[in-house]
A and B are shown apart, each in its own frame.
Chain A
């Protein structure tokens, strides 16, 4: 189905994950290309988030992963922790669902934006601060300079998520895993973030794995769409085909469950 013209920036092959003897992923295959947004849809509990966490080696304790996650010619599942730490946060970054828990409540925004930047990129304090202010402006935080001195609790939920996205983008990653990044945001802000993600993907050749349950969001930014159900990818294909002519009955049922039927949306 997919044209294999470009090498995948990240490819997941036969990923199986079990937690406490209970299988949550039963052989997931995904290929994420540079400059493309790959959407991963499905209901909660279908294994979307686990797939994202497995890439970064962030699976919960007591879980076992097998299969292969290839990035830059290496298997992330086999990689020693020390080397994995060079990759995650720098080359593969993640935006989590809940900004209230993904940001550190007791560190200033500046610290959270510059700490990993200085560690991974080796930039100085002053330059890191300038880049941080630039990033905040990019994700549309009003008054970036002043915002740097503030703490997460001083921002609204939507603002916090924008900061979390800025944190993920700080080291100019090659792969960005965004787990429901706009679920907590307003539609206008969501539109801005989706445009931002799309722009980063197009301009910097960022490969984005966008995990979302919102098929509207999926339709707006994703190039390829994969639909997951019970730990398996049941359908993968180009956006237009999956959302307009779904082949799998489960995808059809997801589309039918939308509050606003496709086609008769906003004016």
Chain B
């Protein structure tokens, strides 16, 4: 694979993705988000539903056009996927979708679907059975149809199909949320292990923070189309900077038997078609200041006026 290994594997710079519906205002699902994933790194992208994390993932795959901003994978700009054959430089981006009941073709044997991935990578050495083995399924299952599998097994098949194309960047768009609780942690760990093993980057999107904590090296927290905090998982977990991250973590109920109701974040998620002025989180923020209402914090790693970097030391 001809990947210039300078800089991160995936870099998303000020990405804006808009959804246009006739007769309705334009919705900026992603409103200037920046994100980086290095090779061999697992980045967990978390946020509430509707914050634009899935749209960001789809844009990285080329399933959505970007209104402005840049997406580079290994230095190549990502172009929207059309009818023509995909630029070979971009077949290294593979996605595992949320629902394995609809992402697999019900009328084709899973072996044939995995073989599609192998063909995309020009891989003649491996067989679909090898890939099934890698995701922990028996080799003989290649001759089966998707309906013969359970949800967790189907998601393993979908992962095998994505891995068959020798991805340099694997994207999981809520890959575990359709699975049984007992299968969730397993499948998440499997994705992590396989991605890291093959040296690929993994962008793992989930709303389940406890699973993201388990597998991600870095966490990116998204709110209303923007990445509001990034950092190493352990640091973010132990000392969340952004008030939104704090609220997210405080909302996780602890199974300690104490009967403590998780903390609720007051207010509603604003309409992305009409975002609030200044900091997007200010109407719900418990620590809101005057500056938050007027100016948007355009810096990182914590996009909050409480964590403004010193002007002298560029971070």
Q: Identify whether the interface residues of A are mostly helix, strand, loop, or mixed.
A: helix
- Pick the contact of B251 from A159, A188, A241, A243 — CB < 8 Å? A188
User: Which residues on the A side are within 8 Å of B254 (C-beta)?
Assistant: 216, 219-220, 262-263, 265-266
Chain B residue at smallest Cβ distance from A217 = B253
Give the distance to chain B from A196, nearest Cβ to Cβ, in Å: 9
A-B contact count (CB 8 A): 133
- Pick the contact of A214 from B181, B239, B257 — CB < 8 Å? B181
> Are B265 and A191 touching (Cβ within 8 A)?
yes
- Judged by a CB distance under 8 angstroms, whether B285 is at the interface is no
Contact with B along A202-233 (1 / 0, CB 8 A): 00000000000111111111110000000000
- Judged by a CB distance under 8 angstroms, whether A102 is at the interface is no
> Are A218 and B251 touching (Cβ within 8 A)?
no
Give the distance to chain B from A163, nearest Cβ to Cβ, in Å: 14
| A188-B265 CB under 8 A given contacts A44-B182, A142-B271, A266-B250 | yes
> Are B259 and A239 touching (Cβ within 8 A)?
yes
> Are A187 and B262 touching (Cβ within 8 A)?
yes
User: Which residues on the B side are within 8 Å of A106 (C-beta)?
Assistant: none
- Pick the contact of A142 from B211, B240, B269 — CB < 8 Å? B269
Complex: A265 Cα to B258 Cα, angstroms: 13
- Judged by a CB distance under 8 angstroms, whether B310 is at the interface is no
Number of residues on chain B facing chain A (CB within 8 A): 43
| A186-B262 CB under 8 A given contacts A258-B255, A266-B252 | no
- Judged by a CB distance under 8 angstroms, whether A65 is at the interface is no
Contact with B along A117-133 (1 / 0, CB 8 A): 00000000000000000
User: Which residues on the A side are within 8 Å of B256 (C-beta)?
Assistant: 219, 243-244, 262-263, 265
- Judged by a CB distance under 8 angstroms, whether A59 is at the interface is no
Contacts of A21-78 to chain B: CB distance below 8 A: 43-44
- Judged by a CB distance under 8 angstroms, whether B43 is at the interface is no
Complex: A242 Cα to B258 Cα, angstroms: 11
- Judged by a CB distance under 8 angstroms, whether A81 is at the interface is no
Give the distance to chain B from A32, nearest Cβ to Cβ, in Å: 17
Complex: A157 Cα to B98 Cα, angstroms: 12
- Judged by a CB distance under 8 angstroms, whether B26 is at the interface is no
Closest 10 CB pairs of A and B: A243-B257, A216-B253, A220-B253, A215-B255, A265-B254, A191-B262, A187-B251, A191-B251, A213-B181, A186-B48
Q: Which residues of B contact A (CB under 8 A)?
A: 48-50, 177, 180-182, 185, 207-211, 213-214, 237-240, 246-265, 268-271
Would you list 29 pairs from A and B whose C-beta atoms are within 8 A, ordered by A residue? A43-B181, A43-B182, A140-B268, A157-B49, A159-B49, A159-B50, A187-B209, A188-B251, A188-B264, A190-B251, A190-B262, A191-B253, A191-B261, A191-B265, A195-B264, A213-B180, A219-B258, A219-B259, A220-B259, A239-B259, A242-B257, A243-B257, A257-B182, A259-B213, A259-B214, A262-B254, A262-B255, A262-B256, A266-B250
